[in-house]
Amino acid sequence: MGGLIWKVYMSGEIHGDWRQRISGGVAAAGLPVELFSPVTVHGDSDDCGAAIFGPEENSFWHDHKGASLNSMRASTLIAAADIIVVRFGEKYKQWNAAFDAGYAAALGKPMITLHTSELDHALKEVDAVASAVAREPRQVVQALAYVIRGDMPAGGSDALAGE
Amino acid sequence: MGGLIWKVYMSGEIHGDWRQRISGGVAAAGLPVELFSPVTVHGDSDDCGAAIFGPEENSFWHDHKGASLNSMRASTLIAAADIIVVRFGEKYKQWNAAFDAGYAAALGKPMITLHTSELDHALKEVDAVASAVAREPRQVVQALAYVIRGDMPAGGSDALAGE
Amino acid sequence: MGGLIWKVYMSGEIHGDWRQRISGGVAAAGLPVELFSPVTVHGDSDDCGAAIFGPEENSFWHDHKGASLNSMRASTLIAAADIIVVRFGEKYKQWNAAFDAGYAAALGKPMITLHTSELDHALKEVDAVASAVAREPRQVVQALAYVIRGDMPAGGSDALAGE
Amino acid sequence: MGGLIWKVYMSGEIHGDWRQRISGGVAAAGLPVELFSPVTVHGDSDDCGAAIFGPEENSFWHDHKGASLNSMRASTLIAAADIIVVRFGEKYKQWNAAFDAGYAAALGKPMITLHTSELDHALKEVDAVASAVAREPRQVVQALAYVIRGDMPAGGSDALAGE
Amino acid sequence: MGGLIWKVYMSGEIHGDWRQRISGGVAAAGLPVELFSPVTVHGDSDDCGAAIFGPEENSFWHDHKGASLNSMRASTLIAAADIIVVRFGEKYKQWNAAFDAGYAAALGKPMITLHTSELDHALKEVDAVASAVAREPRQVVQALAYVIRGDMPAGGSDALAGE
Amino acid sequence: MGGLIWKVYMSGEIHGDWRQRISGGVAAAGLPVELFSPVTVHGDSDDCGAAIFGPEENSFWHDHKGASLNSMRASTLIAAADIIVVRFGEKYKQWNAAFDAGYAAALGKPMITLHTSELDHALKEVDAVASAVAREPRQVVQALAYVIRGDMPAGGSDALAGE
Amino acid sequence: MGGLIWKVYMSGEIHGDWRQRISGGVAAAGLPVELFSPVTVHGDSDDCGAAIFGPEENSFWHDHKGASLNSMRASTLIAAADIIVVRFGEKYKQWNAAFDAGYAAALGKPMITLHTSELDHALKEVDAVASAVAREPRQVVQALAYVIRGDMPAGGSDALAGE
Amino acid sequence: MGGLIWKVYMSGEIHGDWRQRISGGVAAAGLPVELFSPVTVHGDSDDCGAAIFGPEENSFWHDHKGASLNSMRASTLIAAADIIVVRFGEKYKQWNAAFDAGYAAALGKPMITLHTSELDHALKEVDAVASAVAREPRQVVQALAYVIRGDMPAGGSDALAGE
């Protein structure tokens, strides 16, 4: 079977260890996957624009300069991705994550969302265009393993998920 | 000057009178604009799927059936729109609005966001791809009047905004 | 709210009265919808090519000449459509209907499938990319009424469906 | 002459040895081809969704969860393919295969169908957009050898087809 | 059935009465068709550039200026067309016609070619991507009547073709 | 011949009477053309953003807010246009005009540039992708008359150009 | 400067040594170019379809089956190409070459045509969308050397062209 | 994190050392970036067409032949690029740079402009669609380092910029 390397962009919540868990699971399973992310250092993603191009008195433009750099990264990597995973957490508005989900959907990218059931109702339109709704990073890895290589999860599937 | 009718899709918050204020302002100014919206009756947008296609025991699939209908409407109208206006309010997650913003951005649609300055930081990546950030519906009408017909706002501009 | 006329292409089974029932329901509800179909006279869709361009000894090429004309119609109307409805019946292979569904999906057209639950398993991948799965033509009309105009089905909904 | 590796997606019937015969023939001929397929373990393609994301009481949603994963794979690989081969067998509805054919056609991918002459009439619209209709896997290999490398089939062509 | 007006671009040979015969047939049949053509006055299509923008000493640039104007017309009208009809005659190279055919094919426009059987071999790759090969303008009208309205040709079909 | 209304966007220099001369010529010739332009009131195009959304201390952001509104207009109208006319004058940098030319070129829009021969060398890459280079507004009108209706310029052509 | 490998498709005349001369020149200059062509064995390109898929009594369908295979190759390679070179010779209709030119133009591929000045008038619309018109294969190599690497032709340029 | 190589096209001013400074900074930082440029030898970019394809008496066509070759390079490399950097200098019209900026914008490529504040007003519409406005090559390198690898500029950042 062919040698495609699948590109997966992991959008959304920049706290918690969900990206590491997916990354670990992908490595443990030996999947032909390249993982991409936004810049996940919160302060840097806020201040990058001003740090590089100079300070702004008005916080709106301070934010604007940083956000424009973040958008360069996100739009390029989403367009290059085969699959997008979007994580929504309990805290914060996370409009960014939903924006990325819409962006990916308009480009026809298959999407897996990752969130607890408490958020199901608020995310119903996002989930309606997703191909799968995962509760745990382990399930994202299992879904990638199936989609890419046809692997079914082992009993308990702990080995596969690298946890 | 040519006779283009501009299609404008108003996404986001389904409470408050912001759509009425834009609609009133557009009418008062006689702008060649057709306005489109999602279904704004909250209960209907939740229950439409089950009401038409039958009930679901599991609330996830109840939501899924309704949200899929809402997505048919949104994706068609955003694709048909020349401009998208996205309103973010103080309450609720409003991931829907951010999803629509991302969807429109990926299609290259010019976007105006509408929200208070309290939300500026949380919306910085969305605003970074928007062409304008409005605080009041009146400003959206003024922007449409300028973009479509070259009109500058009158002193106070209350007449234009139809308020 | 704006004056978009929605174009709906009804693909699939050419027997039964399902197209008439949708057409009647759309008219009864006064929906701003233009309905399109393949040529539904079975013999004509088989023989059109040979009748116009001359007979073929080999039945394969007889079929090919007719099918090519049918494809001109289908590809043009699906590309022009806002929504596609695809009906699968109990009889025949109906590969045509599934082909149209795939064609519409690749173009990003929202789709409603229409079939009995007996066919659910065989159609699971088609239904997975559809926005809704209807069992009755009445439900297609109700879905259009909701998507286009925000109408919820009345109790029993018989009036709306024009039956 | 240049070093393009041709990507070929083999859609359709998951029983029989047709994929192995094409794969063997491609290898025997040393063609620069990467072959891709759906998951061909029937039970896994039915149950993958529930196995990964949890069981569903309703068989419709059980199917839906699995089919959505299968669609992620198919849509990605068809979009990446240079050529699609679609096999239709005697048994089952195989709407999946026709759906993939339509999906590929809308993306402008050249297609070879593979089926017996008994199915010619039922498949006439699908064949009308195909570039070739093969009866045997050997012919698919010969067509690839010609299209990619300009090879004409040897007398009998058994050596080439690796049979 | 819906009210689509079909746009048909008639490319190729600028001599003979084939466009008039199609136009007459379309009118006689009352088909909802708008017909478009290149500029068919031979001298004007050669000299338009120099007449408008000034003479050139070098005939290559004389031709270039005229041809560029002709291309503006052709590319716009082919892109706007639903169907393209391409006529190849016995005389001249008519590379223009084949260029338009390729242009239309790359845009996915359904195509009908119109030529005598003497040209079949020379046109085999063009015909291979066409949906139909007509010998007479009458057959083009009949094909349009079937594709657009499902009409089958009457016995002899002379009435329909307006001849 | 069909009833297409051609949309023409006139980009570039906002001084002089060149738009009026084209507009007058199009009207005098009765061409089926809708003409579109940027906002040509210099002060308004500078200050619109601040006038509508509030003043900025920093002139960069003052400009940014206005320019973003102007871009909404330009990108929408260029995308809607069939043909773009771009005027370069002697004064100012007019990077706007060249930006619009590049934007239109990437969208595959046929383009006519309008400038004196003094600017030929500086504009050679822009002209290289244009379909015609006009020196006078009259020639633009004549080119439209030929492209749209096949009209050749009359001797002297003053009547046509409405001057 | 970056390491892009440029893909160049050489369409048109299958007689003469023009492809060998370009290929030799590209090799001598060490250009980072991959060259692609149609199948240039005349008899094979006529008979491939029948040889693989079985004979046809009717020569039209014999041609059709072969031409469809040739089209698979051409459409894939043109779509993959960065630049297309199209050679028109004195003999034959060579509608194929013009078709490929149109196909490439609609995809926005830069094109170099290669033909004697005797054909200038007949090819004026094709040349009007080409980026260059070469008389000799050596000039095609020189153009590639300039476009890709900025090389100017040496005096006489014989060394570069490998002749 | 994945192994994407980012392609960056540096358009604009062909004088000064700004490209070398970006190139040096990218190398010093070890960024996974391939840099592309137009041909920057001024005389060659003027004369390439005539040198390869023969002289022209009329300087307009001399320019046209050269500019067409330059456009082949620019359009291919911009389409291949992930990011475009556009430098505007004090001298010359530099319409080329603005044309490339528009071309890139229409293709949705993220853009960084590089110019002094004296040019801010003249470039306001170009900057309005850019993701960042840099004053120094060092800032372009820092922006690439952040966008691609999440690096924040060091204090003074001189080491990073390789100056």
In 3D space, the residue among A71, A119, A132 whose CA is nearest the CA of residue A91 turns out to be A119
Q: Using an 8 Å CB-CB cutoff, list chain E residues near G67.
A: 124-125, 127-128
Interface of A with D in 83-142 (CB under 8 A): 83, 108, 110, 131-135, 139, 142
D141 Cα to chain A: minimum distance (Å): 16
DSSP secondary-structure letter at F108?
Answer: T
Tokens coding H114: 């590089």
Half-sphere exposure of E90 (CA within 13 A, CB side): 5
Q: Do C61 and G57 touch (CB under 8 A)?
A: no
Going by pLDDT thresholds of 50, 70 and 90, the confidence category of residue F163 is very low
- Contact call for A88 and B95, based on CB within 8 A: yes
Helix (H, G, I), strand (E, B) or coil at D27: helix
Lowest mean pLDDT among A10-19, A148-157, D32-41, H52-61: A148-157
Share of chain C above pLDDT 70, in %: 93
> How many CA atoms are closer than 13 Å to the CA of B37, on its beta-carbon side?
18
Contact yes or no for G4 and H80 at CB 8 A: yes
Q: Chain H residue with minimal CA distance to F73? A: H125
Examine the pLDDT at C5 and tell me if it is beyond 70.
yes
- Smallest CA–CA distance from G79 into chain D, residue: D82
- Give contacts of H99 with chain F, Cβ < 8 Å: 98-99, 101-102, 105, 125-126
For residue E112, list its beta bridge partners: E85, E132
- Strands (E) located in C15-153: 33-36, 83-87, 111-114, 132-134
Would an 8 Å CB–CB cutoff place E57 in contact with chain H? yes
Helix A137-149 / helix A18-29 crossing angle, nearest 10 deg: 30
Q: What is the pLDDT of residues D70-118, one digit of tens each?
A: 999 999 999 999 999 999 998 877 899 999 999 999 999 999 999 999 9
Has residue A139 got a pLDDT over 60? Answer: yes
pLDDT tens per residue across span C103-162: 999 999 999 999 999 999 999 999 999 999 999 999 999 999 999 999 999 864 433 343
Q: Do D66 and C124 touch (CB under 8 A)?
A: yes
Give kind and range of the element (H or E) at residue A111. strand A111-114
Classify G132 as helix, strand or coil.
strand
**SS3 state at D85:** strand
Interface probe with F: pick from A53, A57, A61, most Cβ of F within 10 Å: A61
Q: Which residues contact F120 (CB under 8 A, 6 or more apart)?
A: F127, F133, H59, H60, H63
Residues of D with Cβ-Cβ distance to B57 under 8 angstroms: 57-58
For chain C, the distance separating the N- and C-terminal CA atoms, rounded to the nearest angstrom, is: 28
CB A98 within 8 A of CB A115: no
Predicted local distance difference test score (pLDDT) of residue B64 = 98
E110 vs C72: CB contact, 8 Å cut-off?
yes
More confident residue, C54 or H156: C54
Chain E partners within 8 Å of H56 (Cβ): 58
- Taking the CA of residue H142 and the nearest CA in chain A, the distance in Å comes to 6
Rounded CA-CA distance E5/D22 in Å is 46
Q: Choose from H42, H86, H124, H126 for mutation: most chain F CBs within 10 A.
A: H124
pLDDT in tens, B112-160: 999 999 999 999 999 999 999 999 999 999 999 999 999 999 864 433 3
Cβ distance of G80 and D4 shorter than 8 Å: yes
Span B48-62, pLDDT tens digits = 999 999 999 999 999
- C-chain CB neighbours of G67 within 8 Å are none
* Statement: residue E157 has pLDDT above 60: no
Q: Is the pLDDT score of B15 beyond 80?
A: yes
Closest to A124 (Cα-Cα) out of B46, B37, B78: B46
Interface contact flag, A59 B120, Cβ < 8 Å: yes
Q: Identify all chain B residues contacting A97, using CB atoms and an 8 Å cutoff.
A: 95, 98
Using an 8 Å CB-CB cutoff, list chain D residues near G36: 1-2, 4
G87-125: per-residue pLDDT in tens?
A: 999 887 789 999 999 999 999 999 999 999 999 999 999
Size of interface D-G (CB pairs under 8 A): 62
Residue A123, helix vs strand vs coil: coil
For helices A42-53 and A59-80, the axis angle rounded to 10 degrees is 110
User: Where are the alpha helices (H) located in chain D, listed in sequence order?
Assistant: 18-29, 42-53, 59-80, 95-106, 124-129, 137-149, 158-161
Q: Any idea of the CA torsion for F46, F49, F54, F56, to the nearest 10 degrees? A: -50
Please report, rounded to a whole number, the percentage of residues in chain F having pLDDT higher than 70.
93
Give pLDDT tens digits along chain H (163 positions): 447 999 999 999 998 999 999 999 999 999 999 999 999 999 999 999 999 999 999 999 999 999 999 999 999 999 999 999 999 998 877 899 999 999 999 999 999 999 999 999 999 999 999 999 999 999 999 999 999 999 999 864 433 343 3
Chains touching chain D, criterion 3+ CB pairs below 8 Å: A, B, C, G
Provide the shortest C-alpha distance from residue C58 to chain G (in Å). 9
CA distance G70 to D153: 15
Inspect the structure and tell me whether chains A and E have 3 or more CB pairs less than 8 Å apart: no
Interchain proximity C57–G61, CB inside 8 Å: no
pLDDT grade for D155, boundaries at 50, 70 and 90? low
Nearest-by-CA chain G residue for D155: G51
Whether E48 sits inside 8 A of F1 (CB atoms) is no
Using the Cβ of D61 and the Cβ atoms of chain A, whether some distance falls under 8 Å is answered with no
Contact F71 H129 (CB under 8 A): yes
Interface contact flag, G53 D83, Cβ < 8 Å: no
Q: Is H162 helix (H, G, I), strand (E, B) or coil?
A: coil
How far apart are the CA of F145 and the nearest CA of chain E, in angstroms? Answer: 10
Token pair, residue H38, equals 């137009």
Q: Which of E1, E135, E152 sits opposite C35 (nearest CB)?
A: E1
- Inform me whether the pLDDT recorded for D156 exceeds 50: no
The mean pLDDT value of chain G amounts to 93
Residue E47 distance to chain F (closest CA, Å): 9
Torsion of CA A100, A101, A106, A111, to 10 degrees: 130
Task: Report the alpha-carbon distance of residue D106 to residue D85 in Å, rounded.
Answer: 15
Neighbours of chain C (3+ CB pairs under 8 A): B, D, E, G
Q: Does G54 contact chain C (CB < 8 Å)?
A: no
- Which residues lie below 8 Å from residue A117, measured CB to CB, with a gap of 6+? A135, B60
Q: What does the H/E/C string look like for C122-138?
A: CCHHHHHHCCEEECCHH
What is the rounded distance in angstroms from the CA atom of residue G4 to the CA atom of residue H69? 17
Contact C132 B35 (CB under 8 A): no
Residue of C36, C69, C107 to mutate, testing the E interface (most E Cβ within 10 Å of its Cβ): C69
